[in-house]
Chain A
Amino acid sequence: MATMAEKIFSWKLGRDVEPGEFVVAPVDISYFQDGTGPLGIRRFNEFSDKVADPRKVHFFIDHASPSPRKELSNDHRFIREFARRMGTYLHEYGEGISHQIMVEEFAKPGDIIVGADSHTCTLGALAAFATGVGSTDAAIAMSEGGLWFRIPESYRIEVSGELEKGVYSKDLILYIIGKLGADGATYKSAEFHGEAISKLSQEARFTISNMAIEMGAKVGLIPTDDETFRYLKSIRGDQEFLNVVPDEDASYEKTFYFDAKNIPPGVAAPHNVDNWKPIDEVAGTPINQVYIGTCTNGRIEDFRIAAQILKGRKKHRDVTLIIAPASKRVYIQAVTEGLIKIFIEAGGVVLPPGCGPCVGIHAGVPADNEVVLSTQNRNFKGRMGNPSAEIYLASPATAAASALKGVITDPREYL
């Protein structure tokens, strides 16, 4: 009977829930980043003086990390002081992006998690009901240990077949968002199913769930399977995790069908994520900057794909190539495997783990009218700090190939 979202809430509440119902549910983890934390703390201070359970609260200094301005240094100090006083987790400069640390170390299948960052939905690839909220809602969860929710209706997105060589989960999700639209799943729980999804590695699945918000979804859930548990155990050792799959007769408000073999490499063209174009249509577009990283595509598998293309080659003279690992774990692994050396020798600039230029305040703000190709999740006007810049979104392979040629390039030329 129950979809994944309904199942998770039913378990937590000890009773069956229906879509449309308003409930108060316990929250397993609430978290903040440095752009939303200071407001969250100020709001918390207006109505509370006690954190329900400090070991269920995390602060991440990942957006402006390290700080480029005194105002932000002051914000960071404000966060540190609060986290230490309350005894919550505090993740410092160099540790990485909140969502990446969450999937590596903390989020579990079946958890209810709220994060004061819209890409909290990344954790849905581990079958956690994880959703982005404002600072105030996260502050309420921090104080009360719970929050009110409306149980969402569910959409089922069924992807058959297998992705062709040179086509990645980023291409798949950009294609799906292009078809459904930037508000195509507004408020819904988007569940991803089918052969193409089960064949993806866990790391590739995070890219899918990460971008569920870009079609408006509240969560982007992927059922657990052997690959989910392999990933979790590879980092956290031999623990028991819940198996979270929908009932066979679960009812979905809508079901969408896609065939993976029909999907080519693609991009989201400026200025909306649903502005999908096949690579053929945009190949040859001159670019000034390439960014490989973020919570969307800054994982070790992404770096291996990029390094395979960049190895022994040099970036185009007119392109700035910026690379940022999503976490310290990714960074160390990339160093160990020699990937960072490949990036540096190719002419790349490697930033510390964090959100990097995707935030629009530091470490890669484009000049007027420049064109950027990035592996991030958003290309809105002004996103990278300059409203006259144009941003294309693509896979790490397309990004690496384009960095070599100085124009948007089909990665299959190098594979």
Chain B
Amino acid sequence: MEGMTILRGRVWKFGDNISTDHIIPGRYYHLRSNLPELAKHVMEDADPEFPKKVKPGDFIVAGKNFGMGSSREHAAIVIKLANVSAVIAKSFARIFFRNAINNGLPVIIADTDKIDDGDELEVDLEKGVIRNLTKNIEIKIQPLPKVMLDILKEGGIVEYIKKYSRLPVTE
């Protein structure tokens, strides 16, 4: 996250309950040990155009319960490999949320009703605000718990453990 506290890009808008089967369908199960190939199918069952047309820096914006379903961490990984700068949703499913943080993919909880497909956004993670440049409005971000910010700052949990030789929470 360092050096990328301001994110800028175009919006791909999705609805509620985007499942991990939408994000990376089970029929590509055999590609899970070949992440670059797997990533070619990111979000394919939610929008077949997405994997062909997504550009580095773009945002995935959705309604509630993004990432519901399976524990496959590959769902967070293929979004990260598509160089999506962040996923913004009204709420996230628990396992996906933690997987995203563990992989250094910013997941942002905010009211997404006033963000539409194709809008240009600027997200200031430090100030906790989304600027919708197309609509000229600001939307507040729900702050993340400190432990999750600490992991994101290092780019993921593996990087965190390698740097500090401990878990991000201590008893």
Could you tell me which A residues sit within 8 Å of B by CB distance?
13, 22-24, 35-36, 38-39, 43, 46-47, 63-64, 69, 71-72, 74-75, 78, 115-118, 120, 132-137, 140, 144, 146-148, 150, 182-183, 186-187, 216, 218, 272, 359-361, 365, 378, 380-387
Contact = CB atoms under 8 A, between A and B. Distances in A.
Nearest to A381: B45
Contact of A118 (B22, B65, B95, B169): B95
B74 to A, nearest CB: 7
A380 B69 CA distance: 9
Contacts of B147: 22, 148
A118 B34 contact: no
A24 B102 contact: no
B29 A140 contact: no
Contacts of B94: 186-187, 216, 218
A282 to B, nearest CB: 20
Interface in B140-163: 145, 147, 157-158, 161-162
Nearest to B34: A71
A242 to B, nearest CB: 22
A61 to B, nearest CB: 13
A21 to B, nearest CB: 10
Contacts of B162: 46-47
21 contacts: A39-B74, A47-B161, A64-B29, A115-B71, A116-B73, A132-B95, A134-B72, A135-B71, A136-B158, A137-B99, A140-B157, A140-B167, A148-B147, A148-B168, A186-B93, A216-B93, A360-B21, A378-B70, A380-B19, A381-B22, A382-B45
Interface in B62-92: 64-65, 68-74, 76-77, 91
A63 to B, nearest CB: 7
Contacts of B64: 183
Contacts of A140: 157, 161, 167
B43 to A, nearest CB: 12
Interface residues of B, number: 44
Nearest to A64: B29
A386 B21 CA distance: 11
Contacts of B29: 35, 63-64, 72, 359-361
A174 to B, nearest CB: 16
A146 B168 CA distance: 12
Given A47-B162, A380-B22, A118 B99 contact: no
A382 B25 CA distance: 6
B136 interface: no
B71 A13 contact: no
Contacts of A134: 71-73, 76, 95, 98-99, 102
Contacts of B72: 35-36, 134
Contact of B167 (A118, A147, A378): A147
Interface of B: 17, 19, 21-22, 25-27, 29-34, 45, 64-65, 68-74, 76-77, 91, 93-95, 98-99, 102-103, 145, 147, 157-158, 161-162, 167-171
B26 A24 contact: no
A378 B70 CA distance: 9
Contacts of A117: 70-71
A115 B74 CA distance: 15
Nearest to B156: A136
Contacts of B145: 22, 150
A64 B22 CA distance: 20
A175 B161 CA distance: 43
Contact of A75 (B32, B69, B102): B32
A150 B145 CA distance: 10
A382 B33 contact: no
A396 to B, nearest CB: 23
Nearest to B93: A216
Given A23-B169, A382-B27, A216 B99 contact: no
Given A134-B98, A135-B71, A365-B27, 13 more contacts: A24-B169, A24-B170, A36-B72, A39-B77, A118-B69, A134-B95, A137-B102, A186-B93, A359-B29, A360-B25, A361-B30, A378-B70, A387-B45
A275 B48 CA distance: 24
Contacts of B33: 38-39, 71, 74-75, 78
Contact of B70 (A13, A118, A136, A218): A118
Contacts of B21: 360, 378, 380-383
A360 B77 CA distance: 20
A106 B83 CA distance: 41
A360 B168 CA distance: 36
B73 A136 contact: yes
A38 to B, nearest CB: 5
Contacts of B30: 64, 69, 71-72, 361
Q: Which 6 A-B pairs have the closest CB atoms?
A: A360-B26, A134-B73, A183-B65, A134-B99, A148-B169, A71-B30
Contacts of A46: 158, 162
A23 B99 contact: no
